Chains A and B, each alone.
Chain A
């Protein structure tokens, strides 16, 4: 059951109370400011998908599933495969998620994760060409199953883990032969995102949990590959140039930690 009382009303008071703990150098769950909660990844969970993974950061749980279909390419890129990312904030995942068509939060999550993966150029969409007017479409579905804070990082982690474990389907006569596969999807890098917030003072709290997200003044997500920044998204609030550059340093450090965990499930 969710911990904190209704989000809206007393953010400023709750921020003050949280500051008393932060000033001593720890957070409500005892973590350091730049520390992630326990990260767990399970792969190959959905057998109807060509690739899948569940990523858990603390209790936040996101399922990523990859499916292929034969589709028509975009007009301006007729020899390239198509990648479509969709995120569902399942109503069961949080008392604050409502059923219905995707709202701005789920659309933003999908687009940020997609941006990180696409910019990383880790998948060669050109290799998805089948014949004129027909290419492989790869669908990345992100299902947030439980929201205890920071589903964005869990989503990117699940997405990348799913892609690493994806098997290319067998294509014959422009049709996918379901259940038959032709080797792994080639992933040339491991994009991840690192999200952080500012509560009041100018220090970043990495991997915000629900309590912290509710009182955050500034929200920032940075996607990284091994050597590059591949995505950035500021949510609400503002930050200085120095704060952004600091955040990038943090994102590389923590991003590389996440990449180490990904290596263990390949």
Chain B
């Protein structure tokens, strides 16, 4: 059964409810982004820019090395920052990192900590609102990709996906592309498993 598609400006509740990507006009609550209504009438946006949240896991790229810390590209309008006190290893320009958001403020600053340097690989941009689908329920989808790709994959909530160079790139990239195109459909995990099995990447 197809979920109902909600458009920006559509009413999703009487009175005020606490949900992301909504707008309260003093009387009722409306959707602000195109999304779906599930069987319990819960609204979820299909497309939306990433909103950094403390404790989110993100993948980033070091874009500047400064005395006070490191500037990190997080696929956000403004760079994130790793204060020197938040990291014990030395990082270099161009390093890929996996870290957690430690601080977010109203003007868009994002501070990071719990930093891990990722080995050589490729970082891909992926729509942040579709990241949950890439991970899958209980990590089901991402585990399938890691199993058949022969390499490690790290998914950042910010829409950056790190893929180890050990992976079979063409197959993994194609699979990720398929997930992106079909994020709104069900039965995807089985389809992807089938695709990966039959494209020369056996068990």
Direct touch of chains A and B (CB < 8 A): yes
* A28 to B177 CA separation, bound complex (whole angstroms): 12
Q: Say yes or no: B73 contacts A6, CB within 8 Å.
A: yes
Cβ contact of A26, chosen from B75, B165, B170, cutoff 8 A = B170
Within 8 A of A (CB), among B145-180: 160, 165, 169-170, 173-174
Q: Say yes or no: B174 contacts A29, CB within 8 Å.
A: yes
Within 8 A of A (CB), among B57-89: 61, 63, 73, 75
For residue B61, which residue of chain A has the nearest CB? Answer: A5
- Which of A12-20, A48-56, A156-164, A243-251 interfaces with chain B? A12-20
Q: Mark A14-45, 1 if CB is under 8 A from B, else 0.
A: 10110011000011111000000000000000
Q: Mark B97-133, 1 if CB is under 8 A from A, else 0.
A: 0000000000000000000000011111101000000
Given contacts A5-B61, A10-B94, A13-B94, contact A28 B169 (CB under 8 A): yes
* A28 to B167 CA separation, bound complex (whole angstroms): 11
Cβ contact of A1, chosen from B127, B160, B165, cutoff 8 A = B127
Say yes or no: is B20 at the interface (Cβ < 8 Å to chain A).
no
Q: Say yes or no: B124 contacts A17, CB within 8 Å.
A: no
Say yes or no: is B5 at the interface (Cβ < 8 Å to chain A).
no
Residues in chain B near residue A5, CB distance under 8 A:
61, 73, 75, 123-125, 160
Q: Say yes or no: A4 contacts B125, CB within 8 Å.
A: yes
Residues in chain A near residue B120, CB distance under 8 A:
13, 16-17
For residue A6, which residue of chain B has the nearest CB? Answer: B73
Say yes or no: is B93 at the interface (Cβ < 8 Å to chain A).
yes
Q: How far is the CB of B67 from chain A (nearest CB, A)?
A: 20
Cβ contact of B170, chosen from A2, A10, A21, cutoff 8 A = A21
* A21 to B121 CA separation, bound complex (whole angstroms): 11
Q: Is the interface of A mostly helix, strand, loop or mixed?
A: loop
Q: Say yes or no: A3 contacts B124, CB within 8 Å.
A: yes
Q: How far is the CB of B163 from chain A (nearest CB, A)?
A: 9
- Of the four ranges (under 10, 10 to 19, 20 to 34, 35 or more), the interface on chain A belongs to 10 to 19
Q: How far is the CB of B195 from chain A (nearest CB, A)?
A: 13
Q: Say yes or no: A29 contacts B173, CB within 8 Å.
A: yes
Residues in chain B near residue A14, CB distance under 8 A:
122
* A41 to B180 CA separation, bound complex (whole angstroms): 26
Cβ contact of B125, chosen from A1, A21, A26, A29, cutoff 8 A = A1
Max chain A Cβ within 10 angstroms of own Cβ: one of B75, B124, B125, B160: B125
Q: How far is the CB of B73 from chain A (nearest CB, A)?
A: 6
Q: Say yes or no: A28 contacts B63, CB within 8 Å.
A: no
Q: How far is the CB of A23 from chain B (nearest CB, A)?
A: 11
Residues in chain A near residue B122, CB distance under 8 A:
14, 17
For residue A5, which residue of chain B has the nearest CB? Answer: B123
Q: Say yes or no: B170 contacts A27, CB within 8 Å.
A: yes
Cβ contact of B173, chosen from A1, A6, A28, cutoff 8 A = A28
Residues in chain A near residue B127, CB distance under 8 A:
1
Sampled A-B contacts (29; CB under 8 Å) = A1-B125, A3-B125, A4-B123, A4-B124, A5-B75, A5-B123, A5-B124, A5-B125, A5-B160, A6-B61, A9-B61, A9-B94, A10-B61, A13-B120, A14-B122, A17-B120, A17-B121, A17-B122, A17-B165, A20-B169, A21-B170, A26-B170, A28-B169, A28-B170, A28-B173, A29-B170, A29-B173, A30-B170, A30-B174
Add 17 more A-B contacts to A3-B124, A9-B61 (CB < 8 A): A1-B125, A3-B125, A4-B123, A4-B124, A5-B73, A5-B124, A5-B160, A9-B63, A9-B94, A10-B94, A20-B165, A20-B169, A21-B169, A27-B170, A28-B173, A29-B174, A30-B174
Q: Which 8 A-B pairs have the closest CB atoms?
A: A10-B94, A30-B170, A21-B169, A17-B165, A5-B123, A9-B94, A20-B165, A17-B122
Residues of A whose CB lies within 8 Å of any CB of B are 1-6, 9-10, 13-14, 16-17, 20-21, 26-30
